[in-house]
């Protein structure tokens, strides 16, 4: 279900049922001559779309901290926004979601997610914003000292079960930690994903333009490999979103 197409009665029903709400996070970043700027966003949006009406999908956020580590702005396909500018926006969005009643929100990111454990600028900006807002919202709605009150004595059990307030807004990588699918930047893995998800955006004859080492494995990519990656990501998302396996 796409949030922007939902009526109030549909939104309220989704909130009451605890339907997972998904925010695709992405960046615009140079991915060689053969792939589009939005690879990291498209991987998320196209895979999440396959979950259908089991989730509510918010309009995606496409302008993250891409960095110029791969390439500068000269290609026209990297739009870097400093993480410091992202935090206030994410705080505003997270507060709006909580005030609307959502308590099962999940951001999903692919960009730089091989470092998700330690964190990279875009995902760290979102996670910091979400934590700041949850603390602020709880103090506004429950008062100062909310955690110390007796009714919170089951907090640690709730935390262990994943039902405490700090699970109202979470962030997940698109893929699980695995060697079952090649994780790269515009190489075999991401090229295969685009061949499966957005084949019209791929120009294989342009692979290797400018001789970037990171595209050397791209010619090995196939749509079949991409579909295997999609299946892996979908199984992971179903698990972290609490959906039944198919």
**Rounded Cα–Cα distance for residues 30 and 235 (Å):** 28
What are the pLDDT tens digits along the chain (246 aa)?
999 999 999 999 999 999 999 999 999 999 999 999 999 999 999 999 999 999 999 999 999 999 999 999 999 999 999 999 999 999 999 999 999 999 999 999 999 999 899 999 999 999 999 999 999 999 999 999 999 999 889 989 888 877 889 999 999 999 998 888 999 999 999 999 999 999 999 999 999 888 899 999 999 999 999 999 999 999 999 999 999 887
Q: By the 8 A CB rule, do 195 and 43 touch?
A: no
The structure tokens 């609307």 sit at 100
Query: Nearest to residue 196, comparing CAs of 176, 222, 177, 231?
Result: 222
Query: Nearest to residue 132, comparing CAs of 84, 173, 82, 95?
Result: 95
Taken in order 155, 159, 160, 163, is the CA torsion positive or negative? positive
Which residues neighbour 71 within 8 Å (Cβ) at sequence distance 6 or greater?
30, 77, 78
The alpha carbon of 188 is separated from its chain's Cα centroid by a whole number of angstroms, namely: 21
Fold (CATH) for 3-182: Rossmann fold (3.40.50)
Domain spans, the chain = 3-182
Element (H, E) at 95: helix 83-100
Element (H, E) at 58: none
């Amino acid at each position: 279900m796409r949030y922007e197409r939902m009526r109030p009665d549909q939104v309220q029903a989704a909130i009451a049922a605890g339907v997972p709400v998904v925010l695709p996070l992405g960046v615009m970043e140079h991915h060689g001559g053969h792939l589009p700027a939005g690879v990291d966003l498209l991987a998320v949006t196209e895979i999440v779309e396959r979950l259908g009406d089991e989730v509510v999908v918010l309009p995606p956020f496409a302008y993250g901290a891409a960095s110029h580590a791969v390439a500068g702005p000269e290609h026209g396909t990297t739009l870097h926004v400093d993480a410091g500018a992202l935090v206030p926006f994410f705080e505003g969005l997270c507060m709006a979601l909580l005030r609307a009643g959502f308590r099962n929100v999940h951001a999903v990111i692919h960009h730089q997610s091989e470092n998700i454990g330690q964190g990279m600028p875009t995902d760290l900006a979102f996670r910091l914003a979400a934590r700041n807002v949850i603390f602020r919202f709880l103090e506004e709605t429950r008062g100062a000292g909310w955690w110390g009150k007796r009714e919170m004595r089951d907090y640690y059990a709730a935390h262990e079960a994943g039902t405490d307030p700090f699970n109202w807004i979470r962030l997940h990588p698109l893929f699980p930690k695995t060697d079952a699918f090649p994780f790269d930047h515009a190489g075999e893995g991401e090229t295969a994903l685009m061949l499966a998800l957005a084949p019209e955006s791929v120009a294989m004859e342009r692979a290797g333009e400018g001789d970037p080492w990171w595209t050397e494995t791209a010619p090995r990519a196939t749509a079949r490999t991409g579909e295997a990656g999609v299946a892996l990501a979908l199984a992971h998302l179903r698990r972290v979103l609490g959906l039944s396996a198919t």
